[in-house]
A and B are shown apart, each in its own frame.
Chain A
Amino acid sequence: EAQVTQNPRYLITVTGKKLTVTCSQNMNHEYMSWYRQDPGLGLRQIYYSMNVEVTDKGDVPEGYKVSRKEKRNFPLILESPSPNQTSLYFCASGVVGELFFGEGSRLTVL
């Protein structure tokens, strides 16, 4: 089954404790992206990747890092999480004309 898998789905952590949200896709897509969704703000792009070893900042990259060492994986790294990074995060992969989204990772930073 074609899918984008994110883990963890839910996480409560404390300020400053590094965490990684993993994202994996099985559709051989070159393009992958991370979004955060906040009430009243819609989806905002954090980082995107056009291919292996190619990553670029989106609209809200501050406080986040990504890597793309393999085509299927695109982890999102929060080196020192802060409460303003409490949000619902989505990973997506796709081709021109259609994005496929993961089920989301709800992160709470205390």
Chain B
Amino acid sequence: SQQGEEDPQALSIQEGENATMNCSYKTSINNLQWYRQNSGRGLVHLILIRSNEREKHSGRLRVTLDTSKKSSSLLITASRAADTASYFCATDVGGADGLTFGKGTHLIIQP
């Protein structure tokens, strides 16, 4: 069943601007992960945030987690054309089946 739901479904911004994507989920989680997918390619792991963490940084990525609202956000700062991709959140509830993915946000960076 779909656990995470990304918002917006699509986002188009100018190069250099910041991009923010949101993810909402329904049940308690162990951790939440963000993945990136270039068109038609495999997903690539970006960052993981545990349920007891509120914010995490990795390079130009900043992830926040609000477990009271069951939501997370991914911020990409100083966007580049190469950031054009789809971004998925994935939740880990600790079950044997692993991760459940949302439908993704398609990000377009205009040069």
Contacts and interface: CB of A to CB of B under 8 A. Distances in A.
Is chain B's interface secondary structure helix, strand, loop, or mixed overall? strand
Interface in B54-111: 88, 90, 92, 96-104
A92 B42 CA distance: 9
B97 A104 contact: no
Contacts of B31: 97
Contacts, number: 56
A4 B97 contact: no
Is chain A's interface secondary structure helix, strand, loop, or mixed overall? strand
A103 B42 contact: yes
Interface in A90-110: 90, 92, 94, 96-104, 106
A43 B40 contact: no
Interface residues of A, number: 28
B96 A45 contact: no
Interface of B: 1-2, 31, 33, 35, 40-45, 48, 88, 90, 92, 96-104
A33 B35 CA distance: 16
B97 A88 contact: no
Given A40-B103, A98-B33, A50 B44 contact: no
A58 B2 CA distance: 12
A4 B2 CA distance: 24
30 contacts: A4-B42, A31-B98, A33-B98, A40-B103, A41-B103, A42-B2, A42-B103, A42-B104, A43-B43, A45-B97, A45-B100, A50-B96, A56-B96, A58-B97, A59-B1, A92-B43, A96-B92, A97-B48, A97-B92, A98-B45, A99-B35, A99-B90, A99-B98, A99-B99, A100-B45, A101-B43, A102-B42, A104-B40, A104-B41, A106-B40
